[in-house]
Chain A
Amino acid sequence: MSQFTQPTLERPPMALAPTQAVSLNINGKAHTLQIAPWTTLLDALREYLDLTGTKKGCDHGQCGACTVLVDGKRINSCLSLAVMQEGSEIQTIEGLGSEDNLSPLQQAFIDHDAFQCGYCTPGQICSAQGLLNEGRATTEAEVRELMSGNLCRCGAYSNILSAVMEVLGNKGAEAAGSQATPKKESKEGARQWAAGAASQSVPPVEPAK
């Protein structure tokens, strides 16, 4: 792969399109981009900031793959122009949790196996985070209703639902002042797990007979 994955050295010229400076605050960092005013937030993230965790599924506000958080509210980034978000706090999947400290939703998605191909996953997680922030949903039926803008063609819905419900339940428990439920250990130690790592955090598999 190496010869094909080198980062871009220079942006392709934008020809006649007039550009302007747009300042965006993304995942706690300030960026100033020189972009055409009609550039969507989604394209600004993916093409100018190399934040490719946010996916483009339809570019028309119909699938939810591009969901990001703006001042804590979830939006379809394909339906928003980057210029409209100057002065807002934008949070993308890359800014939710960190490598060794996943957000509760990220962890729950792993624990509940809430994805197959993974393409809708960043959008699902950002949308679920927005849902939690809104604080409107408490029941399964409400979560279904309020997450119905995020399509998953692999049909991982029942696991997505249980992942969101788990975090919602824990959050509810904390808010109620009760003892925070101890964080469930990942079933298979998925947290420490990395492909190709030689660490022994996962017990070796049964050998063949």
Chain B
Amino acid sequence: MNHLDPQRHVRGESQYLDDVPTQQGTLFAAVFESPLAHGVLVNLDLSAALAAPGVVRILTADDIPGDNQIGGIVPDEPLLAHGHVHFRGQPVALVLARHEHQAHAALKLIKVDIEPLPIITDPRVAAAQGELIVPPRTFKIGDSAATWASCAHVFEGVAESGGQEHLYIETQGAYAFPTEMGGVRIISSTQGPTAVQRHTAHVLGLGMHQVEVDVTRLGGGFGGKEDQATPWGALAALGAYCTKKPVKLVLDRMADMRMTGKRHPYSSDFKIGLDKDLRIVAYEVTFFQNAGAAADLSPAVMERTLFHATNSYFVPNVTATAFSCRTNLPPNTAFRGFGGPQGMFVIESAIAKAAEELGIPACEIQRKNLLRENDLFSYRQPAEMCHAEQAWDTAAKEFDLAGTRAEVEQFNQQNKLQKKGLAVMPICFGISFTKTPMNQARALVHIYSDGSVGVSTGAVEMGQGVNTKIAHVAARTLGISVNRVKVESTNTTRVANTSPSAASATADLNGKATEMACAALRERLLRHACTEYTLNYEGLEIRDEQVLAAGVPAETDWEKLVSSAFWKRVALTENAHYATPDLHFDAATNQGHPFAYHVYGTAITTVTVDCLRGTYTVDALRIAHDFGQSFNEVIDRGQIEGGAVQGIGWMTMEEIAYNAEGRLLSNSLNSYKIPDIYAAPKVLDVHFLDTPGHPKAILRSKAVGEPPLMYGIGTYFALRDAVRAFQPRTALPFSAPMTPEKVLVSLYPEFSAAETGWNATAVGTPASIAS
């Protein structure tokens, strides 16, 4: 079961932010955004808007009582623009009105004078001009430069991957209420309640204890609400603080798409060297990350790109460098995979390039170079409990790789205008926040005197099923029915200083804390039982709500035990803190042991391309995945399927386009396509690998949120394979997404020799499509 309370979901009773009943006197907020991507803010004329019906107040940077700053890693992001604007869609003013439509109507009456400054949208241009968010980083092992001469084969190339809209179906928003102590309470649709709390306190000049953030559930997050829920929470809070009225701010879909950042587009240079046995001996890569106008999480995303630059391959000599480039686009941010997929796409491109040049299937190189036990990653952590080869070989056997390949070849011989393609995509993903201090969590567990249990943690439920997992951990540890357990909303006053629900680590961290709290309570109750009922503590346990002494039912059960413990004044509340052990990483040397463990898997993708139209279908996606000892196969399977579909979207149909002025062209679901039920793979098989799991994973059930997204990369390479079957010698740049338009152009290069723009860099270049 995925949900603690599925009835509410199917009856439409689950409350999301926008469903919270409106409190009397609520003001509705709308954000006035910069119409230019870069410039000096000369004048802001609010007079007409202020006179508009229903408008109560308009707030600007000058109304901020504290510090106008919400940058998390680098303090480079004002809440409301002041002096300069740095991207189109940057919040400049907040209109507060009696009704939502009045607030939106007033936006059109605001006049702004901006002196334009040059606009950069291309990360390589930004890097050339020294526009970097943070200094570049290099991960290095061995000596790649010294190895090239001894390589049998060396290939170089460029790989581009595009951005991706999060497109959570619930848009961003927050609802803030003034509290009587002069603070604010915010109901926020955020993955990071503490981030909203900290930045709001900073903006309002308050202590964090004056700001309460509460989250019930999200209608999707995918990373888009990790740091980028903060502006809306802080703006609503600013409104509530300044007017002493509740303020609700919900972005409409197009505003959300215009104003929020996306997955980072990357443009990368690679060089790969193989020996005569096709072993990868050297790999050099330079990543140019398009960070947008402010740091947001970009430095951390960039770091994870470097961690995953070699995917699940062992390469003895690696030099990987990354530049986080400042451009005049909305700050790009976390998205499932967090830079990992972008890194993996490049090495897969490098391998594909080598295979194509050598005239062999890519999987020959892939299989030969998979990680083995104790192989070192470039950051010096060894691959422990490594299942890379097992995943590959199991997938090949379970899903008959050889037979599938033969089928594809046969089909391609028999069909002229339809071609099939095949690709194998192994993955390896490190679990933990790469910033070690973030790997901590707390749980607060109450046992009520009637035997029911309330659990609070820092985990945010956004569809990934974390609340269900936590409830099961609590029930299992206490030996009671999960029916007795309620997982409370995520609230900063109950559990403080939380890490965001991100990095696939939420269930591990918060689950472990819950397990610790429940174990402490169980021990306390059993100690009590042993004195109360004169039992021997050894062999005492609670199972199926019954107290067992050496396996024999004692004269007490859960309810009686709890009740008697209460009357004997035994503490029935526990607060536990978990910090993942043995993690360390030195960001100066780029070495250490940043991950609790790695997750492995392999996907086999087959596609069919219609060679007249360039359209295609994903026929099958077959995955062998290392779940460890999954304790909720339904949730875990759902995460694999959903993640893979999102990855396929990123690699195929989801194309973000900005023009040279930094205006988002793909600004609604009309011009930005995400997978629908028709686009989802026809066959989606998930095989649970037989692996022992990892002791640092909750109940040895490995983290499952992000890794499956990268299976989608296989679709890109399967499409290339199909295109090659039709057009063997066409020059195919490594440029994702592989939209049907791009496929068509690749199928008929002779008709598209004139610059079409499809092969240009992923972002910002097709200036000709400008408004």
Contact = CB atoms under 8 A, between A and B. Distances in A.
Nearest to B686: A158
| A-B residue pairs, 6 tightest by C-beta | A53-B12, A117-B463, A119-B219, A155-B642, A116-B463, A155-B645
B544 interface: yes
A113 B1 contact: yes
How many of chain A's residues touch chain B, expressed as a range?
35 or more
A15 B641 contact: no
Interface stretch (B295-303, B479-487, B746-754): B479-487
B214 A1 contact: yes
Interface string B669-697: 11000111111100010000000000000
A204 interface: yes
Contact of A154 (B451, B463, B482, B485): B463
Interface stretch (A18-26, A167-175, A177-185, A189-197): A189-197
Interface centre among A51, A201, A205 (most CB of B within 10 A): A205
Contacts of A154: 220, 463, 638, 642
Given A116-B642, A148-B677, A157-B677, A198 B484 contact: yes
B102 interface: yes
20 contacts: A4-B177, A8-B24, A15-B53, A55-B18, A94-B11, A109-B9, A115-B6, A119-B169, A119-B170, A119-B220, A122-B10, A148-B676, A149-B676, A153-B167, A158-B680, A161-B677, A187-B1, A195-B486, A198-B451, A204-B480
A77 interface: no
Contacts of A202: 481-483
Given A118-B9, A158-B680, 9 more contacts: A4-B175, A94-B12, A102-B10, A109-B10, A151-B169, A187-B1, A198-B483, A207-B477, A208-B477
Interface centre among A7, A191, A198 (most CB of B within 10 A): A198
Contacts of A143: 677
B644 interface: yes
B521 to A, nearest CB: 12
Interface residues of B, number: 96
Interface of A: 1, 3-10, 12-17, 46, 50-60, 62-63, 65, 92-94, 97, 99, 102, 106-107, 109-110, 113, 115-122, 125, 143-145, 147-161, 187-188, 190-191, 193-208
A199 B641 contact: no
B26 A55 contact: no
Question: What's the dominant secondary structure at chain B's contact region?
Answer: loop
Contacts of B544: 203-204, 207
B170 A99 contact: no
A34 to B, nearest CB: 14
B512 to A, nearest CB: 13
A158 B9 contact: no
B222 interface: yes
Contacts of B167: 151, 153
A199 B253 contact: no
Contacts of B638: 113, 116, 154, 156, 159
Contacts of B471: 195
B21 interface: yes
A198 to B, nearest CB: 6
A205 B642 contact: no
B405 interface: no
Contacts of A203: 481, 544
A155 B187 contact: no
A5 B22 CA distance: 7
A155 B98 contact: no
B642 A52 contact: no
Given A65-B169, A102-B11, A60 B3 contact: no
B677 A110 contact: no
